[in-house]
Amino acid sequence: MNLNRHERSRSRVRVALLSLLLPLCAQGQQGNEELPEALRNIPRAGESCKNDAPDVAATRTSRTAAAAPGLACMVTMSQVRGDIESGAILIVDVRQDSQHQRFHIPGSVNFSATSLAHKPALRGKALLLVGDGKGERELHAGCSLLKQSGFASVRVLAGGMISYLASGAPLRGRVPSAYELADLDAGQLWAESKFVENLLVIAGNAADYSDHLPYATAVNPLTPASLAAVLDRRQKEIKGAVSAVVLAGAPVTEETSYAALATAVAPVPLLTYRDSAAALGRFVAGQKASWTARARGPKRPRCG
C-alpha cells in the first residue's frame, strides 16, 4: 500500500516536470531570454561540445606549480655518507620492487615517493630518497610535496644508485656497473632534456641533434678535461648546482672511458645516451603523433 502511494507521488512529480519543460523545448531557436533564472545558463544538448571543467584544470595547474622541483632537496654522496654509515638516516629506495630485489642498499626500505605521504610514522625521521639516477625531476618534485605535507627532513641523493655505486659503498644482490646504470634510451634522453637543472652535452656532430635538443652544449673534442670545463662554466653561469650531466653523441662504448668522464664531473652524476640521433628522432615523431591524437580527442557530434 505504501509502495503504491510512493509510486503515485513519483508519477505526479514526473508529470509536473514534463508540463514545465515541454513549453520550454517548444521555444526552439528563440533564445533563453524567457527561461526561468535557474535554467538560463544550462547549455542546449547541441552546445555541450566543450569540456566545461575549468576548476579541475586550474587545480591541476596549481598543484604542478606547487610541486616545481628545483634542487633544494639534492645532496651528494659525500655529504650524507657519514649519516648512512652511522644509521642516522633512513634510506628510501624509490625504484620499482623488481629493481630493489635485484640489488639494493643494506637497510633500505622500498617505497615510492608518493606512498610515503601515507606513512605518517616516517614524518619525524630523516629520509634519503634514492632512485635509479634517471628522471630525477619527478623525485625532486615528490620531495617538495613531502616537505609541504609535514615531513621534517627529506633529501634526494643526486644521481641515485649510479652515484651510490660509483662511491664504492656496499650493495647487496646482483650489482651492475655504473656504466650500465647510466645508459639512457631515447625516451629517457628526451625526459632528461626537459629538466632545466640538467646540463645536456652533445659530442661529435651536434647538428644531428639540434632539432630535438636545441639547448644542448656542443663539446668537440670530448675529453674528461673539456667536459669538466663545460660543467664548470654552466655552474658559474647559473650560480648554482647542476642535477646531472647528460651526454649524447659520444662513442662511450667502454666502461673505462665512461669512468674517466664520470670522474671528471663528479660529484655531479653522468648519464650517457649511446644510441643514434635517428633513434631519438623516431621517438620524438612517435610522441608528437600521440600528442596530436590526444589533442583531437574522440570523435564528437557536431555542435549546434
CATH code for 180-287? 3.40.250.10
Measure the CA–CA gap between 156 and 149, rounded to whole angstroms: 17
- The yes-or-no verdict on residue 47 having pLDDT over 70 is no
- The pLDDT value given to residue 105: 96
pLDDT for 57 beyond 50: no
Cell reading at 166: 660509483
How confident is the model at residue 136, as a pLDDT? 85
Whether 116 has a pLDDT exceeding 80, the answer reads: yes
Q: Would you say the C-alpha torsion 222, 282, 268, 251 has a positive or negative sign?
A: negative
Residue 205 pLDDT class (50, 70, 90 cuts): confident
The residues near 26 (Cβ < 8 Å, ≥ 6 apart) are none
d(CA 243, CA 270): 10
* Lowest mean pLDDT segment, chosen from 7-11, 210-214, 230-234: 7-11
Intrachain domains 66-176 and 180-287 with the same fold = yes
- Report, as an integer, the average pLDDT of 90-119: 93
pLDDT, position 56 = 37
Indicate the Cα dihedral angle 149, 92, 120, 73, nearest 10°. Answer: -20
**pLDDT, position 216:** 92
- In this predicted structure, the answer to whether residue 211 has a pLDDT above a threshold of 50 is yes
Do residues 237 and 243 touch, judged by C-beta distance below 8 A?
A: no
Q: Which CATH superfamily is domain 66-176 in?
A: Rhodanese-like domain (3.40.250.10)
Q: What percent of the chain has pLDDT over 70?
A: 75
The answer, yes or no, to whether residue 289 has pLDDT greater than 80, is yes
What per-residue confidence (pLDDT) applies to 46?
Answer: 45
Which residues is 90 bridged to in the sheet? 127
**Whole-number average pLDDT of the chain:** 80
pLDDT digits over 130-147, tens only?
Answer: 999 998 888 998 999 999
Q: Where are the domains of the chain?
A: 66-176, 180-287
CB 164 within 8 A of CB 128: no
